[in-house]
Structures are given as structure tokens and as C-alpha cells.
Amino acid sequence: MSLRLGDTAPDFTQQSSEGDIRFHDWAGDQWVVLFSHPADFTPVCTTELGKTAKLKDEFAKRNVKALAISVDPLESHLKWIDDINDTQQTTVNFPILADADRKVSELYDLIHPNASTTATVRSVFIIDPAKKIRLTLTYPASTGRNFNEILRVIDSLQLTEYHKVATPADWQQGDDVVIVPSLQDEAEIAQRFPKGYVAVRPYLRLTPQPG
């Protein structure tokens, strides 16, 4: 059965390029971006892992850890990392799970028989500090992931986790946000959103981004 939003991300212990990882312990109280790759030495994935390495500071600002997974063995991963570092002019600074036994791939439903009976699909999971799955995305093999969108979603998830707001279409950091419809008490609204709001409709109330 596929994992759904709000499900607890399955725990596991697996080899990685940075030693054995017991997932829940490794994640600690941080957010996690877990993303899968069909195989080592694939061109699109090489660019993605290089991009992830270059975004280390952006992830760190958001209290996020990155974790990649491929079904190839550890020895192959280590050779691939050398290639990523060389071709992408960076240094891979996060672990890549060596899921040769497909244990993690099966837990996270990453083998889709209609796509491939052996290789993992290219999925992304954003997992919060409570180990709950907050976002899933699955990309075709031919399309590289949009890491600006992944960062944008993390920003939205973290903002809406602590404030009674939602983010509208194409929202970026600093844009107006939407007051959630369930919040109707005007005194609480005034306390939470001292800059006020504009009611486009009774159910659509825009306010400057809190914080």
C-alpha cells in the first residue's frame, strides 16, 4: 500500500555512503527530504544530487536533512559520488542509502512495475520532525526535480505549521497569505495578524505573512 499524507514515515536501518542509518534516530528533530533514484550514474539524477549538495546552506536554514536512495550497492554509490563531485563542481555532503535489498524501496512503495520491475521511481518525500509525511511527489525519469519548488513547499509547510494560515497559488516567501477559514474569532484574528487583513470574500481573507 502506498504511503499517504499524514502517515508516519516507516523506520528502517540501512547502509549508506555515510555509514549505517537508523532513519528515525538519524532524522532526530529535523525535517527530512528523502528522494529516490532509479540507478547510479544516471544523468538527470547526477545533476539533482549535485544541486542538493549546493543547497546545503538553504536546507540547514530550514532545519532540513537530505537523504537520497538508490538500489545500487554501496561500492557503486562511492564511485558515483566521485563522479558527481567532479561533473557538478561540488562535494556531496549528505548520505545516499545503498538499498540493494530493496528494503527501503518496498517500505516507501518506490518500485512501480509499470515503470520498471527493478528500478525505483523518482519520488520525493518531505517528512516533518514528528516523522509524518507532509508531501509526496513522483517525477518521470526524463524530468529533473525542481528544487526551488521543494524549498518553497518546505517554507509553506513550516509557516503553516505554526500560524493559522495557508499559502495561495505561486506563493513565495514574503507574499501575502490566506487566513484559514476555521479561524472566525475577530479578537484572535487581531492578535494573530496585527497588520490586518483584506476580505476579498468572507472565505478568502489575505494578510501579510506573519513572522
**Side-chain half-sphere of 143: how many Cα atoms within 13 Å?**
9
- Could you count the other beta carbons within 10 Å of the beta carbon of residue 61? 12
Strand boundaries in 15-132, DSSP class E: 21-22, 31-37, 64-70, 96-98, 122-127
7's CB contacts (< 8 A; 6+ apart) are 132, 133
Q: How far apart are the first and last CA of the chain?
A: 39
* 96: nearest Cα among 173, 198, 1, 19: 19
- The residues annotated with a catalytic role in the active site are 45
3-state secondary structure of 140: coil
CA 185 to mean position of chain CA atoms: 34
